[in-house]
A and B are shown apart, each in its own frame.
Chain A
Amino acid sequence: MQILAEAEELPKTTNIRTQLVALWIAAVSALILLIAYLAFPGFWPPMSPRLTAEDVAGFYRNHTAWIRFSMVTFNLCGIMLLPLFCVVVVQMKRMATQSQVFAYCYLSAVVSGATLFALADIFFAVAAFRPGRDPDLVMLLNDLGWMVFIAPVGMIVAQNLMLALAVYHDNGPTPVFPRWVGHLSLLTMFAMLPSACAMVMTGGPLAWDGAISFWLRNGAFATFVIVMFFAVRGAVRRQAREEGIAR
């Protein structure tokens, strides 16, 4: 995409530029988050809920530095994915054939969902702050961290449902997103939904370290974020062309 010289200083050009900047902030943060994800020893393999309090406390004692590094990184960069979802809101508001109601509900769900992600790393990091703490308390912090990280998928369910419905209702001559974005959104929603069971299960695929609740859930979300980066970038480029400021 190339911005036309005569459009350089127009406000609508700035609107395109800021959306692209937001996308790149999210892309760089996603890469940093991936590094933090690889660096957290608690994910390789994911910690079993069946560990004893002594084992959990021992884990935080033995891996303190890596836990601190990864959780501080999550803390600093986790919410920097938010600009990606805000560009989705901007694009949803461009959908011509509807009342914009899905965009408002999507934004509301995105904000609430982000607060949960911002909370999880604090529990893990506090557990690593004093590795000598009473093991029962370390296990409590570890439980709370895992539960809030994996189980409350309701906000992602809500936001992906709103996005999919918006895409399906966007039946004008030039849809903002291709139809498959709606399908992907629903597919991701269904893949993440079962991990709500991590609130209860202590073993098996639905426990917080399980094949469904951990691997499928996080794999689906990561794939969704990566694919959405390209889908949203495509939508912003189409907007630039439609508004006659790029070719």
Chain B
Amino acid sequence: MSATVVAASGGEPVGTEPRAPASKRDLWIVFWIFPTFFGLFGVIFVLLARVIPPPRPDVTTDQKVQWFASHATTIQIGFAAVCVVFGGAAIANGYVAYQMKRMTSGPTFAYAYMGAMAVGTLPGLLLVALCFSAATFRPDREPRISAMLYDLGMLSFNGSLGCFATGYLAFAIAILYDKNQIFPKWLAYVSIWQIVTEVIATQMWVSSAGPYAWNGSIAFWLAVIVFGFWLNCQGIFLKFATDRQPAGSRPAD
């Protein structure tokens, strides 16, 4: 009987030895890192690092060098800050994977989500920081090299598709199989739209201007709108999942 109760609440009670009264403070600390990190991420990438909205792909080498020169200070502050806080991404994704482990769908896709997102951090977040910092570090660098760093940075940031598509797919499938209602079913369908935007974004690798370029209305802006909606929903329902998790419980191994 007790096993059924446990399965319904999406966790198992912790051992039987005497201990301090159960608290959910650890869950709440980790939960609040999610909105804090993504808030900082937005501020840094939009206001400081200048990669959202994206600089244009259809410019000459000299214009790229000029763009780095005119935004050098904020790019440098922004990406130094990224170096400090980007571990928040690992914690936020780790917490989503943790809540996915409370689902009845088995641990497979929780691990797949954690793995895909942990891999995605390098090409999707850190490489642009590295490229833009290397370009602004030496303003007198050979222009051809700075221009290559511009392309490498933007395409790794906007064009890293598969890691995230895999994460979204894992998230969607786990939700659809889950009976504990950790996340609502419709969020799975939003996640599938996220995969669709990643597939559409493949076009930025062959298109250097227009709606399908890396700054285009479809390949970039449509994807950003869907991503923003999805991320906010994920955060809100992560809060509800934290609310509902019984104190002193943990996911099954």
Contacts and interface: CB of A to CB of B under 8 A. Distances in A.
Q: On chain A, which size bracket covers the interface?
A: 35 or more
Given A143-B137, A147-B134, A154-B85, A96 B90 contact: no
A152 to B, nearest CB: 5
Kindly name the residue among B80, B94, B122 whose own CB sees the greatest number of chain A CB atoms within 10 A. B94
B122 A119 contact: yes
Contacts, number: 162
A213 B22 CA distance: 41
B6 interface: no
Interface string B87-129: 1111101110110010000000000001101110110001001
Interface string A69-80: 000000000000
Kindly name the residue among A107, A154, A197 whose own CB sees the greatest number of chain B CB atoms within 10 A. A154
A200 B79 CA distance: 9
A184 B158 CA distance: 38
Interface stretch (B58-66, B195-203, B206-214, B243-251): B243-251
A173 B17 contact: yes
Q: Which secondary structure dominates where chain A touches chain B? A: helix
B192 interface: no
A106 B91 CA distance: 7
A158 B134 contact: no
B20 A154 contact: no
16 contacts: A97-B22, A100-B250, A101-B26, A105-B30, A108-B93, A111-B90, A111-B118, A111-B119, A136-B141, A140-B134, A158-B87, A165-B26, A169-B26, A172-B17, A173-B18, A200-B76
Interface of A: 49, 96-102, 104-109, 111-113, 115-116, 119, 136-137, 139-140, 143-144, 147-148, 151-159, 161-162, 165-166, 169, 171-173, 193, 196-197, 199-200, 202
